[in-house]
Amino acid sequence: MTMMKKLLTSAIASTLMASGAQAAISNDTVKIGYLADMSGTYRDLAGPNGQSALEMAIADFGGSVKGKNIEIVSADDRNSPDTSSSTVRRWVENENVDMVAGMVASSVSIAVSKILEENDKLGIISGSAASSITNEHCTPNHIHYVYDTYPLANGTASAVVKEGGKSWYLLTADYAFGHSLESDVRRVVEANGGEVVGAIRHPFPTQDFSSFVLQAQASGADVVGLANAGADTTNAITTASEFGVTQSGQTLAALLLFLTDVHALGAQTAQGIQLTTGWYWDMNEETREWSDRFMEKTGVRPTMVHAGIYSSTIQYLKAIEATGSDDAQTVRKQMMDTPINDMFAKNGKIRVDGRMVHDMYLAEVKTPAESKNEWDLYKILRTIPAEESYRPLSESKCKLVNN
């Protein structure tokens, strides 16, 4: 064999070895870390039941992928970026975690995404709302799956303004999610000829909304917009009801309201509230079938976050199966190249900025008379097409987008 042939043979062998190494499943195990608020403000919308959705996805996939076991580790993020960062750093650096799922508080997701990028691991964010997660805070190592503040504003705020709610006063959770939602709501209200006459930011979380609601009531605004979520939203709505906000002629707009929030409030209190959602359990036979199985496991109907965790986990495992690899970039690319058609979304797709785009829905809480049972809570007013729902890439500040 000539020297040239030896060199060529060696180069080919090295390339094949490198390709094989990249294609392999690391440590012969696919390990998923589930990170969420397990005990605080956001417990019900994701929390332990989000892990149940994750477990359902793994079971439905057969419990393994390419002959390799799938393992789960989980932790309570306590809505703390510092706690979450240290947990995820330990997972990816010492415990061989390949993908982090869940993630609710936007400040947590932004902090964790940086750790994942440093270590070239993947994150699939299902609970967070801030649209900045795939805008100025985008990375090549995470996907934002279920919803964000951009369609929440496009859906709820736009509808309320068009129905005559021209002047707004905002109660905003004072951290990344609330700031992002406030910004997107201002944009939509003003674009539709309305005006934000005032806003006040409350600590996250907050138990007593009395002073905040009184200031909103005193503003005289047509609409009191709640730019918060979870227990903060239900506490604010309860306080507003006690103070007679809607009875005095103001409209209450819950800009992010989950099924579990409405269930906790009850149709009597929440009736008539319009909201934007990425999914609803009672939309069709496919959503009902999966929701029935979820309820058998958990005792409650799923939120859009629970459904998104299930869907995104299935898509993740399909990508590993298709590529034979759990390498973050290989899997992310495969997920981007594969349309999403399941019980959560039809013709969904993951863009280069990591945003999974799909149809969103404007819903209204039913009256007690309309509701057939304790979970029959929404009527879908209209579909907001995917192309109208999310920030267009032409407006993106994401470093991965070439405008």
> How many Cβ atoms are within 10 Å of 393's Cβ, its own excluded?
16
Residue 264 pLDDT more than 70? yes
Q: How does residue 247 score in pLDDT terms, banded at 50, 70 and 90? A: confident
Assigned token pair, 8: 């060529």
Domain match, 331 and 369 both: no
Q: Is residue 9 part of a domain?
A: no
CATH number, position 43: 3.40.50.2300
pLDDT, residue 272, reads 85
Per-residue pLDDT tens for 196-205? 999 999 999 9
pLDDT, residue 23, reads 62
Q: Is residue 1 part of a domain?
A: no
Query: CB neighbours of 62 closer than 8 A, spacing ≥ 6?
Result: none
Domain match, 350 and 371 both: no
Residue 16 pLDDT more than 50? no
Q: How far apart are the C-alpha atoms of 246 and 241, rounded to whole Å?
A: 7
Query: 158 lies in which domain range?
Result: 150-277+360-389
Domain match, 182 and 271 both: yes
Q: Is residue 335 part of a domain?
A: yes
* Residue pair 129/148 in contact by the 8 Å Cβ criterion: yes
Q: How far apart are the C-alpha atoms of 30 and 63, rounded to whole Å?
A: 10
Q: Is residue 21 part of a domain?
A: no
Q: How does residue 403 score in pLDDT terms, banded at 50, 70 and 90? A: low
pLDDT, residue 18, reads 41
Q: How far apart are the C-alpha atoms of 350 and 354, rounded to whole Å?
A: 6
Q: How does residue 8 score in pLDDT terms, banded at 50, 70 and 90? A: very low
Q: Is residue 167 part of a domain?
A: yes
Domain match, 289 and 377 both: no
Q: What is the CA radius of gyration of the chain?
A: 22
Domain match, 351 and 204 both: no
Q: What is the domain count for the chain?
A: 2
Q: Is residue 171 part of a domain?
A: yes
DSSP assigned state of 250: P
Per-residue pLDDT tens for 178-224? 999 999 999 999 999 999 999 999 999 999 999 999 999 999 999 99
Q: How does residue 7 score in pLDDT terms, banded at 50, 70 and 90? A: very low
Domain match, 271 and 370 both: yes
Over residues 327-345, mean pLDDT: 98
Domain match, 194 and 214 both: yes
H or E, element range at 143: strand 142-144
Domain match, 308 and 247 both: no
Alpha helices in 169-284 (DSSP H): 176-191, 210-218, 231-242, 259-265, 267-270
Domain match, 122 and 176 both: no
H or E, element range at 100: strand 99-102
Domain match, 308 and 349 both: yes
Q: Is residue 398 part of a domain?
A: no
Q: How far apart are the C-alpha atoms of 208 and 193, rounded to whole Å?
A: 33
Domain match, 178 and 38 both: no
Domain match, 253 and 366 both: yes
Query: CB neighbours of 146 closer than 8 A, spacing ≥ 6?
Result: 126, 127, 278, 279, 304, 305, 307, 308, 356
Q: How far apart are the C-alpha atoms of 76 and 39, rounded to whole Å?
A: 7
